Amino acid sequence: MFKGSFTALVTPFRAGKNGTAGMVDEKKFAELIEFQIKNGTDGIVPAGCTGEAATLTHKEQGRLVSLACEIVDKRVPVIGGAGSNNTEEAIMLTRFAKKAGCDAALSITPYYNKPTPEGQYRHYAAIAKKVEIPIVVYNVPSRTGISIKPQTVARLSKIDNIVAIKEASGSIDQTSEILSLCDITVLSGDDSLTLPMMAVGAKGVISVVSNIIPREVHDMVLGFLEGDFERARQLHYRILPLCKAMFIETNPIPIKTSMRLLRRLNGKLRLPLCEMQKENEGKLRKSLKDYGLL
């Protein structure tokens, strides 16, 4: 189930007062999901970092993952964002994901309070014990301030419903060490490293750039999985500049700006995220043009 190209879906907002982001735009959210499925995406990941989960209320987050499951209607897996640095809150959000009908829950490593490896283990073990749903651990030290050690991942992999890890440490060595210690499914959390990570054993990606080029990301991952390494390599080099452009400012600012420039979205972001600097938007526009999207 957990292999291929999964899209870390943006959350569309209606325009609010003074040009700010207002309520979640459910109609646009449905359109984005249909676009993904039509273009071969293997799974949908709502309410993650790219979906601005940190700015959603619990009610909005629960509604978003529920709506995603309703729209997808079992056509592809849905991995609902359900993480928190508060273990009890993470359990609550994971219950939301289960009740909504998600195929799995994405659970970020606890941020800010920076638990020890033992604390990380107990956090995930508590979630897994309380909620019977497959759990995808999410390691993204650039956001959380701490990385999960491969040895901790190996311990967690022995818990039946901890089935995968979204690995966004930016380190191929991290992936290699994890897979040398256990057989947990690894999904890339860094678009530019998807193919290199698959070369050492990852099974796919939870992608940001696939919000705008789902077919190409899907084809690259599928090419590798089916043994067409040359095709996968060609696609990797084609999409690489676009992958880099998606992180010239904090995600999801560039991807939402791209979708605005492509007239797929109004690009509204919730504070404290805000519009791109003009210089960086110019660089982003050039990347989209070079790729042939503009």
Enumerate the active-site residues.
138, 166
pLDDT on residue 16: 83
pLDDT, the chain, mean: 97
Q: What is the pLDDT of residues 225-271, one digit of tens each?
A: 999 999 999 999 999 999 999 999 999 999 999 999 999 999 999 99
Give per-residue pLDDT as tens, 15-30.
887 777 889 999 999 9
Domain assignments of the chain as residue spans, ordered by start: 4-228
In angstroms, the Cα distances linking 27 to 49, 210, 289 are 21, 20, 28
Model pLDDT, residue 20: 76
Amino acid at 215: R
- Homologous superfamily, domain 4-228: Aldolase class I (3.20.20.70)
Summarised one tens digit per residue, pLDDT across range 187-210 is: 999 999 999 999 999 999 999 999
Would you say residue 55 has pLDDT above 90?
Answer: yes
- Quick: pLDDT tens for 97-120: 999 999 999 999 999 999 999 999
- pTM for this model (two decimals): 0.96
pLDDT tens, position by position, 128-180: 999 999 999 999 999 999 999 999 999 999 999 999 999 999 999 999 999 99
Instruction: Decide if 66 contacts 31 (C-beta within 8 A).
Output: no
pLDDT category, 52, cuts 50, 70, 90?
A: very high
| Cα 7 from Cα 82, distance rounded (Å) | 16
Neighbour-count burial for 149-160, b at 16+ CB within 10 Å, e otherwise:
bbebbbbbbeee
In the structure encoding, which two tokens stand for residue 164, read together? Answer: 């995968």
Q: With H, G, I as helix, E, B as strand and everything else as coil, classify residue 89.
A: helix
Question: Rounded to the nearest 5 degrees, what angle is found at the Cα of 147, between the Cα atoms of 142 and 149?
Answer: 155
Q: Quick check: 31 pLDDT over 80?
A: yes
Residue 282 reports pLDDT greater than 90 = yes
Tens-place pLDDT, residues 167-177: 999 999 999 99
